[in-house]
Chain A
Amino acid sequence: MSARLITAGGRKVGLVELGKGEPLLYLHGFADMHATRPGPFPFHETLAANRKLIAPAHPGCADSEEYPDLMTVEDAVFHYLDVFDALGLDKFDLVGHCVGGWIAAEIAVRHPERVKSLALIGAAGLFVPGALIGDVFMVAQPARGVEYADLRAMLFSSADHPLAQELFPDGRGGIDDEVRRYQMLRFGSFIGFKPPYFYHRALINRLHRINCPTLIITGEKDAMVPRAIANAYAGGIKGASLQVISGAGHAAHLEQPQAITDALSRLHR
Chain B
Amino acid sequence: MTPAQLYCWHFMAYPHLPADFDEKYDTGWVTVPNHLWDAERSRGLYQEYIDQLAYADRLGFDGFVLNEHHQNIYGLAASPNIVAAALTQATKRGRIVVLGNLLPLHMNPMRVAEEYAMLDMMSGGRIVAGFAPGGGPETFNYDVPSARSREQFWESLDLIVRAWTEDGPFAHEGVHFPLRYVNPWPKPLQKPHPPVWVPGSRSPGTLIECAKRGYCYFLSSRSHGSATGRAKDQFTEIIEQHGKKYHPFRMGILLSVYVGENDNTARGECEEGVWYFLKNCLKGHLRTEGRQLTFGPGVPYIPTKAWRQYLETSKPGRKLLGDAENWEELESSNSIIVGGPDTVYERLRQLIDQTDVGNLLIQFHLGNMSDEITRGSMKRFAEQVAPRLREYSAKRFAERFPESEEEMAAAGVGA
Chain A partners chain B: yes
B313 → A minimal CB distance (Å): 11
Q: Which of A146-199 contact B (CB under 8 A)?
A: 146, 171-172, 175, 178-179, 181-183, 185-186, 189-190, 193-195, 197
| CA distance in complex: A178, B307 (Å) | 9
Digitize B125-150: 1 where CB-to-A-CB distance is under 8 Å, 0 elsewhere.
00000000000100110011111100
B298 close to A193 (CB less than 8 A): no
Q: Which of B131-180 contact A (CB under 8 A)?
A: 136, 139-140, 143-148, 151
Digitize B99-136: 1 where CB-to-A-CB distance is under 8 Å, 0 elsewhere.
00000000000000000000000000000000000001
B304 close to A143 (CB less than 8 A): no
> Which residues of A sit under 8 angstroms from B297, Cβ to Cβ?
140-141, 178, 181-182, 185
Q: Which of A60, A146, A190 contacts B145 (CB 8 A)?
A: A190
| CA distance in complex: A68, B148 (Å) | 9
B311 close to A144 (CB less than 8 A): no
Q: Is B292 an interface residue (CB 8 A)?
A: yes
B300 close to A185 (CB less than 8 A): yes
> Which residues of A sit under 8 angstroms from B255, Cβ to Cβ?
none
B140 close to A186 (CB less than 8 A): no
Digitize B315-356: 1 where CB-to-A-CB distance is under 8 Å, 0 elsewhere.
111101000000000000000000000000000000000000
| CA distance in complex: A42, B140 (Å) | 36
| CA distance in complex: A137, B300 (Å) | 9
Q: Is B290 an interface residue (CB 8 A)?
A: yes
Q: Is A240 an interface residue (CB 8 A)?
A: no
| CA distance in complex: A60, B305 (Å) | 11
| CA distance in complex: A264, B304 (Å) | 35
> Which residues of B sit under 8 angstroms from A136, Cβ to Cβ?
298
B296 close to A146 (CB less than 8 A): no
> Which residues of B sit under 8 angstroms from A141, Cβ to Cβ?
136, 291-293, 296-299
| CA distance in complex: A139, B298 (Å) | 7
B308 close to A175 (CB less than 8 A): yes
Digitize B263-303: 1 where CB-to-A-CB distance is under 8 Å, 0 elsewhere.
00000000000000000000000001111110011111001
| CA distance in complex: A144, B283 (Å) | 10
Q: Is A138 an interface residue (CB 8 A)?
A: yes
> Which residues of A sit under 8 angstroms from B307, Cβ to Cβ?
179, 182
Smallest CB-CB separation from A186: which chain B residue? B300
| CA distance in complex: A105, B314 (Å) | 40
Q: How many residues of B contact A (CB 8 A)?
A: 33
Smallest CB-CB separation from A151: which chain B residue? B298
A179 close to B148 (CB less than 8 A): no
> Which residues of A sit under 8 angstroms from B288, Cβ to Cβ?
144-146
B296 close to A171 (CB less than 8 A): no
Residues A183 and B296 in contact in the complex (CB < 8 Å), given A145-B318, A189-B148, A194-B144: no
B139 close to A179 (CB less than 8 A): no
Number of A-B contacts (CB under 8 A): 96
B198 → A minimal CB distance (Å): 21
Q: Is A142 an interface residue (CB 8 A)?
A: yes
Q: Is A45 an interface residue (CB 8 A)?
A: no
> Which residues of A sit under 8 angstroms from B318, Cβ to Cβ?
145
| CA distance in complex: A141, B301 (Å) | 13
A145 close to B299 (CB less than 8 A): no
B305 → A minimal CB distance (Å): 9
B27 → A minimal CB distance (Å): 10
Smallest CB-CB separation from B300: which chain A residue? A186
Q: Is A66 an interface residue (CB 8 A)?
A: yes
B275 → A minimal CB distance (Å): 19
> Which residues of A sit under 8 angstroms from B311, Cβ to Cβ?
172, 175, 178-179
Q: Is B40 an interface residue (CB 8 A)?
A: no
B147 close to A189 (CB less than 8 A): yes
Q: Is A71 an interface residue (CB 8 A)?
A: yes
A193 close to B304 (CB less than 8 A): no
B139 close to A137 (CB less than 8 A): yes
A194 close to B148 (CB less than 8 A): yes
| CA distance in complex: A186, B150 (Å) | 13
Q: Is B372 an interface residue (CB 8 A)?
A: no
A211 → B minimal CB distance (Å): 33
Smallest CB-CB separation from B320: which chain A residue? A145
B304 close to A186 (CB less than 8 A): yes
B317 close to A146 (CB less than 8 A): yes
Q: Which of A138, A140, A179 contacts B304 (CB 8 A)?
A: A179
For this complex, 16 residue pairs linking A to B, each with C-beta atoms less than 8 Å apart, are A68-B151, A137-B139, A138-B140, A138-B293, A138-B298, A139-B298, A140-B298, A141-B299, A144-B290, A144-B317, A145-B317, A175-B312, A186-B304, A189-B300, A190-B148, A193-B144
Residues of B bordering A, CB below 8 Å: 26, 136, 139-140, 143-148, 151, 288-293, 296-300, 303-304, 307-308, 311-312, 315-318, 320
The 6 A-B pairs of least Cβ separation, nearest first, read A145-B288, A140-B298, A145-B317, A193-B145, A172-B316, A146-B317
